Amino acid sequence: MSNEVESAQVSDAMEVAQLSSLAAVDSHAGSCEAEMPSRLLNDAVRSLPYHVVKDLLSIGVCSRCVLRILGTEDHIYCHSSFSQSMLCSVLEEVTGFKSEGDFQFCSVCLGVLQLSYRDDKETLVKMESPNDMALVIAELVKKEGHQIDGFSLEVSIPQFILENESSLLSGMKKRYESEPWLQERLLSKCVSVKDVLKFAITKPLETLLNTKASASSFRIRLAYTHKMAFGNSVERNQGFKRRKIGTENGLQNVNDESVVANKDCSDYPTNETIAVTGRSSLKVPIDKVSEPCHLVYLCYRTHIYLCGRYLKYSRNVSQTRWIIDEERMGEASVEEIIGSNILPMYRGDNYKFHAAGREDIDVRMLGSGRPFLLEIQNARQVPSEETVKEIESKINGLENKLVGVKNLQVVGSQGWTLMREGEAEKQKQYCALVWISRPLEDEDVCSISLLNDMQILQKTPIRVLHRRSPLERKKIIHWMKIERIAESSQYFLLHLCTQAGTYIKEFVHGDFGRTQPSIGSILGCRAEILQLDVTDVKMDSF
């Protein structure tokens, strides 16, 4: 349903009445619009203190700001059928103000509520109705290919606008302090520029997008900035995440350095000057605003998290993408297998893989699997629970059977804490294929099984010493069990459960005696490890 109203310049008080004969423009109006929107507007305008309206208009305040500052309820003047020019004319007509010269950007809202701005191509845009802005947004959402069932609208404006406003308000309070309307209209906080704009755009947007505004992971953001915004630390620290509209490469952070500190404090007039008439005159920081704000339309979905446990059946697959000198190590990575199968279902820009610990490329991850978290950035659609289960089956059904997934499900942002929680305390269970330099005796099997919560001291293994601190770490071997292998006297399976962070390979072969004790030292012979498998990563919350 589109906006059908386009009113011409109203030059005559009679035509104000004509507006009330307009057909009901929208039925998606708010609950309080029982009467014709134009009549409400009419009444509201007539109830304003005319001299104040004139004063404000004469210092370049736009019509919406005038209505806003004087306490008019926003649904009255935010109607999507009311164009810029129409509102302006209504005010001027009723109050007898004649504006001179050309269109000026509002000295308070810098054009934001006049629906004027410079777009990302530096073109000056002046929209007539909030509907038009809603249209631009809807186009963007469509272009980005988002499938949504709700949206959250955010507006950010330069701090400068708020400063303008408070400066003006304090001036008004001084100038009109004895007047009766002041109490009622001014002393209660006026609706903010942000809220007015949001209110004006939300309803048409709901219609165009065919969904409701709510707390949603899909965000629509209107980011206004202005060159003249002085270098307030608040402004600069707002740190907008900028994304160019329609960029395929995913998210880019561009710091807007054109929002610069041109601190020109001396030009910041106060409202203390006494005018000729003896009353303090109204002033705003910038008399003639020559440039409107710069506006960037953004729409994106916040991160979606999927959690689960993965299994690694191959001894030639690394956990994460591992590339040295442009050559891949191993034939694939868990991260890529899982990520590349899930990302397309969400039509996201990118994914990030996080796991609770990791295993070497030549170590299999079996049993219960290792907890992982997959972060999907800027998903264009959110598949159903069933689809997620299908994705799990798909990955488990892949022909090369390198990786498996369990318990795949969507999780909120608490998934992050769940995974990190107690990671260092978690116990891990392993199965190692061990060879010793002499035949295995029953005594050995027995003595190994008796060792419970044995403390070992591990110097940083030589294989990681080049990138880790040389430290001596105390670790605990909770229990061990030897399983004999039929037909072999020197090979056996060693099942063991250890504290997180224990280097198992070094515990078996001793690492030049730098891990004490080791299987070799306990059994009094040379021990070598041929294969290692992780059989359990104990974590309750996953």
If one counts every other C-beta atom within 10 angstroms of the C-beta of residue 370, the result is: 26
Q: How many residues bind another protein (CB under 8 A)?
A: 41
CB of 265 to another protein, least distance (A): 47
Using the rule CB under 8 A, is 359 a contact of another protein?
A: no
Please, are residues 206 and 218 in contact by the beta-carbon 8 Å criterion? no
Using the rule CB under 8 A, is 239 a contact of another protein?
A: no
Q: Phi then psi for 456, rounded to 5 degrees?
A: -125, 160
- Binding test (CB under 8 A) with another protein, winner from 40, 431, 519, 537: 431
Measure the CA angle with vertex 499, ends 495 and 502; round to 5°: 80
Catalytic residue among 360, 362, 442, 533: 360
- Binding test (CB under 8 A) with another protein, winner from 283, 477, 533, 534: 533
If one counts every other C-beta atom within 10 angstroms of the C-beta of residue 95, the result is: 20
- Binding test (CB under 8 A) with another protein, winner from 27, 466, 474, 540: 466
- Binding test (CB under 8 A) with another protein, winner from 231, 344, 412, 513: 513
Using the rule CB under 8 A, is 493 a contact of another protein?
A: yes
Site for another protein in 376-405 (CB under 8 A): 396-397, 401, 404
CB of 245 to another protein, least distance (A): 42
CB of 327 to another protein, least distance (A): 14
Q: Please indicate whether residue 119 is annotated as part of the active site.
A: no
CB of 366 to another protein, least distance (A): 6
Alpha-carbon distance of 156 to 233, in angstroms, equals 15
**DSSP secondary structure letters along 49-70:** -HHHHHHHHHTT--HHHHHHHT
Nearest to 403 by CA among 327, 336, 306: 336
- Binding test (CB under 8 A) with another protein, winner from 266, 469, 474, 540: 469
Matching residue, tokens 């999507």: 80
From the list 20-28, 72-80, 371-379, 488-496, the region that binds another protein by CB under 8 A is 488-496
CB of 494 to another protein, least distance (A): 11
Using the rule CB under 8 A, is 64 a contact of another protein?
A: no
Closest to another protein by CB, 130 vs 520, is 520
- DSSP classification of residue 10: P
Return the structure tokens found at 440.
């295995």
**What are the residues facing 117 on neighbouring strands?**
125
Alpha-carbon distance of 106 to 74, in angstroms, equals 18
Using the rule CB under 8 A, is 456 a contact of another protein?
A: no
- Binding test (CB under 8 A) with another protein, winner from 59, 125, 451, 485: 485
From the list 57-65, 113-121, 228-236, 364-372, the region that binds another protein by CB under 8 A is 364-372
CB of 429 to another protein, least distance (A): 11
Would you call 92 helix, strand, or coil by DSSP?
helix
First-last CA distance in the chain: 47
Using the rule CB under 8 A, is 463 a contact of another protein?
A: yes
Dihedral sign for Cα atoms in the order 219, 225, 229, 232: positive
Q: At what angle do helices 84-95 and 37-46 cross, to 10 degrees?
A: 40
Using the rule CB under 8 A, is 407 a contact of another protein?
A: no
Matching residue, tokens 């059908």: 4
**DSSP secondary structure letters along 449-463:** HH--SEEEEEEPPTT
Closest to another protein by CB, 32 vs 462, is 462
Please, are residues 75 and 30 in contact by the beta-carbon 8 Å criterion? yes
Site for another protein in 35-54 (CB under 8 A): none
**What are the residues facing 474 on neighbouring strands?**
457
Site for another protein in 297-356 (CB under 8 A): 313-314
- Binding test (CB under 8 A) with another protein, winner from 509, 522, 525, 538: 509
CB of 201 to another protein, least distance (A): 50
Closest to another protein by CB, 246 vs 470, is 470
Q: Which residues have a Cβ under 8 Å from the Cβ of 191 and sit 6 or more positions away?
A: 68, 74
Return the structure tokens found at 371.
């907890």
Using the rule CB under 8 A, is 529 a contact of another protein?
A: yes
Alpha-carbon distance of 109 to 358, in angstroms, equals 54
CB of 495 to another protein, least distance (A): 9
Alpha-carbon distance of 335 to 112, in angstroms, equals 45
Return the structure tokens found at 211.
């969904």
Closest to another protein by CB, 278 vs 397, is 397
Closest to another protein by CB, 129 vs 515, is 515
Contact residues toward another protein (CB under 8 A) are 313-314, 364, 366-367, 396-397, 401, 404, 431, 433, 435, 459, 462-470, 485-488, 491, 493, 505, 509-513, 526, 528-531, 533, 535
Which residues does the annotation mark as catalytic?
A: 360
